[in-house]
Amino acid sequence: MSSEHGWMEGRGAVASDTCLGRVLAVEGSEARIGLAFPLPNGPDRPTVGKFVAIKGHGTSLVGMISEVYQRIEESHVSRAMARVDLLGEIERTAGGVSRFRRGVREYAAIGDPVEMIGREELNLIYASSSARAITVGHLSQDPSIPAYVDTDHMLAKHFAVVGSTGVGKSSAVAAILSKTIEVRPELRVLLLDVHNEYRAAFGDRASVIGAENLRLPFWLFNFEEMQNVIYGGKPAAPEEVEILAELIPIAKGKYQAGPDRLAVDRRPMRHAGFTADTPSPYHLQDLLALIHERMGKLENRTSSMSHHRLSMRIEMIKNDPRYEFMFKHANLGGDTMAAVLSQVFSLESEDKPLSILKLASLPDEVVDAVVCVLARLAFDFALWSDGAIPILLVCEEAHRYASADKASGFAPARRALKRIAREGRKYGVHLGLVTQRPAELDPTIISQCSTFFVMRMTNDADQALLRSAVSEAAANLLGFVPSLGAQEAIGIGEGLPLVARITFSTLSRGEIPQSESGARGEGDRPIPRSEVVRTAIERWRRATTSQSLRPEDGPGEAKVEPHPTAPSLRLANGAAEVAPLAARPPLDVARPTLRR
């Protein structure tokens, strides 16, 4: 039957209220449907991204339309066609109960009728029976259907949130984490906050760690990490590295021996039992003394110069106020490892399961080493505690620490994250990766992720990379990625019942992660530019001022100064928002953003 427009119903198609057409061909996980004429108009129009059901014997195959097109027959008549990716099946059990299962066991046959999927079936597909499932938003296709994510599956094999800048990744992460800690109170989350933007998003459920209160003693850094700190990420001088490798274990031995130090001094080094990597305390002063002692005995001028340069380097970073988090109390010693673990992984606080580490508050040169130490600590702690406390490490801008380009970034940090990606599951360490550039992320790490939230993205290389990491059906759906709306994502993988186009829940103004340097406060009122400049300079200087030297600090631990109450963030002309002057203690002395 042909129409005046030259359209023809699919061969054998029955034009009824519900039948959309019939199966014409099946190949692999793909079916070609001849659409019946007239095509329905309204919400049930067969358009790309919609779900259809192919009715078989006792089961309905569930598929998603990945393409609609027109085929010109030999008779010069065109036929409306649809390509459908087969994703799963709804089975009716003997008791009359319907169940959805991923994957296809019984394939479609030619002539099987095809219908649009109804709300009831969508509900059945996307319903979750897991007690540890969370709702992160709703299906874009039907806002009445919640988008569930099963946190057990999402965490077990890691997850990634990817998308171009400003599409809502951080907000999605805030929504996901907020719900996850509700259903998994035992989980401890360490969020590496590159732009200092998550502070407000979790309210009092998170403890915020910044340069002012982080205590990560230098002796927790392994040999490579310590070199990275001492040489600011630049290549180290081999002669100096040799000296360090030899003397750090001796300094550790001295510390361990306590007052009976002479005994260690006389013992050959190999008997000290320590390596430069052992996470065991030592006095920096001892290390410096050992270097000086060696230097005094040397006759070779070149070698003596190497010792001198090394001791100068160590002195320099030790006295740099920005490195206080590593070196404060460096010479007082004390095994603070338990305290460090408790702080960074929020181990002691029941009501604060989340720690936010404001990386932008640390010196740029040292961020890679800090991330490396933390990733290593997370894994090693889980390993040695037999995974007793599950830990989720969330890395914003993950491509910075685990770059695909071996020549860029800090290799040990990439290695530490890779190790979690590969083996973390066995010990209860999970990764959450957030990146604008998945193609720049180490491929091993991305290939270990089993749940993806792919937000709007236009870069071809990024899309191609993701396509190769997911199933064929999901890869077809990734075709939508450039046209996704704000807050929208294609959810793919084990955490979701089925690949889905979802819209993340809208966060309230206070929950949206936003850079503290661009934070908005209620009731902003204009302030003069001169005030903005004055405060910017003050923050700038404070970032390089020793906290212990501030007159208002007493002896002991560095205190965080209360934020000076300031009226507003808005320029007098109301044009732009500027540095945070709002009364939100403590004052953040961080650089506003990090170099990418």
Q: Which residues of this protein are in contact with ligand ATP, per CB under 6 A?
A: 163, 165-171, 175, 436, 486-487, 504, 506-507, 512-514
The interface partner of residue 171, options being Mg ion, ligand ATP, none and the CB cut-off 5 to 8 Å by kind, is ligand ATP
| 168 touches, from Mg ion, ligand ATP, none (C-beta below 5 to 8 Å by class) | ligand ATP
User: Among Mg ion, ligand ATP, none, what binds residue 165 when CB lies within 5 to 8 Å by partner kind?
Assistant: ligand ATP
183 vs 512, which CB is nearer to Mg ion?
512
- Tokens of residue 370, six digits: 């800090």
Considering the complex, state which of residue 168 and residue 249 has its C-beta at the smaller distance from ligand ATP: 168
Closest approach, Cβ 391 to Mg ion, in A, equals 22
Identity of residue 32? R
For residue 512, the partner it binds in Mg ion, ligand ATP, none, with Cβ less than 5 to 8 A by kind, is: ligand ATP
Residue 385 contact among Mg ion, ligand ATP, none, beta carbon within 5 to 8 Å by kind: none
**Interatomic CA distance for residues 321 and 316, integer angstroms:** 10
Cα end-to-end distance, the chain, whole Å: 61
Nearer to ligand ATP, 81 or 174 (CB): 174
Q: Cβ neighbours of residue 430 under 8 Å, at least 6 residues apart?
A: 155, 156, 158, 390, 391, 392, 393, 420, 424
Segment interacting with Mg ion, rule: CB under 5 A, options 131-139, 165-173, 256-264, 474-482: 165-173
In the bound complex, what is the minimum distance in angstroms from residue 450's beta carbon to Mg ion? 22
Q: Are 224 and 412 in contact (CB under 8 A)?
A: yes
Given Mg ion, ligand ATP, none, residue 507, with its beta carbon under 5 to 8 Å by kind, binds ligand ATP
Q: For the CB of residue 191, give the shortest distance to ligand ATP in the complex, in Å.
A: 13
DSSP string covering 420-441, please? Answer: HHHHHHHHTEEEEEEES-GGGB
DSSP state of 15: -
Nearer to ligand ATP, 108 or 176 (CB): 176
CB of 194 to Mg ion, least distance (A): 8
The binding track of 125-164 with respect to Mg ion, each residue x by CB under 5 A or -, is ----------------------------------------
**Nearest approach, Cβ of 512 to ligand ATP (angstroms)?**
5
Binds 178, which of ligand ATP, Mg ion, none (CB < 5 to 8 A, cut-off by type)?
A: none
For the record, the structure tokens of 549 come out as 């030297």
- Give the C-alpha distances (Å, rounded to integers) separating 136 from 172, 190, 480: 8, 20, 20
SS (H, E, C) 251-280: HHHHHHHCCCHHHHHHCCHHHHCCCCCCCC
Q: Compute the least distance from the CB of residue 169 to Mg ion, in Å.
A: 5
Instruction: Please give the residue whose beta carbon sits closest to ligand ATP in the complex.
Output: 168
Measured from the CB atom, is 172 or 247 closer to Mg ion? 172
Instruction: Supply φ then ψ for residue 393, to 5 degrees.
Output: -105, 115
Are the beta carbons of 393 and 190 closer than 8 angstroms?
Answer: yes
Taken in order 547, 553, 554, 558, the sign of the CA dihedral is: negative
Query: Least CB distance from residue 203 to ligand ATP, whole Å?
Result: 16
Residue placing its CB nearer to ligand ATP in the complex, 169 or 376? 169
Cα separation values, 500 from 62, 134, 347, 478, Å:
13, 15, 35, 10
User: Which C-beta is closer to ligand ATP: that of 493 or that of 513?
Assistant: 513
The residue (of 249 and 513) whose beta carbon lies closer to Mg ion is 513
530: CB partners within 8 A, 6+ apart: none
Least distance (Å) between residue 163 CB and Mg ion: 9
Q: Which stretch binds Mg ion (CB under 5 A): 166-174, 219-227, 301-309, 540-548?
A: 166-174
Contacts of 65 (CB under 8 A, 6+ apart): 46, 47, 48, 49, 50, 51, 52, 82, 83, 84
> Per rule CB under 5 A, is residue 170 in the interface with Mg ion?
yes
From Mg ion, ligand ATP, none, which one binds at residue 436 (CB under 5 to 8 Å depending on kind)?
ligand ATP
Nearer to ligand ATP, 63 or 438 (CB): 438
C-alpha 288/C-alpha 315 separation (Å) is: 8
Instruction: Tell me whether residue 81 or residue 161 sits nearer to Mg ion (CB atom).
Output: 161
What is the SS3 assignment for 62?
Answer: strand
* Binding residues for Mg ion (CB under 5 A): 169-170
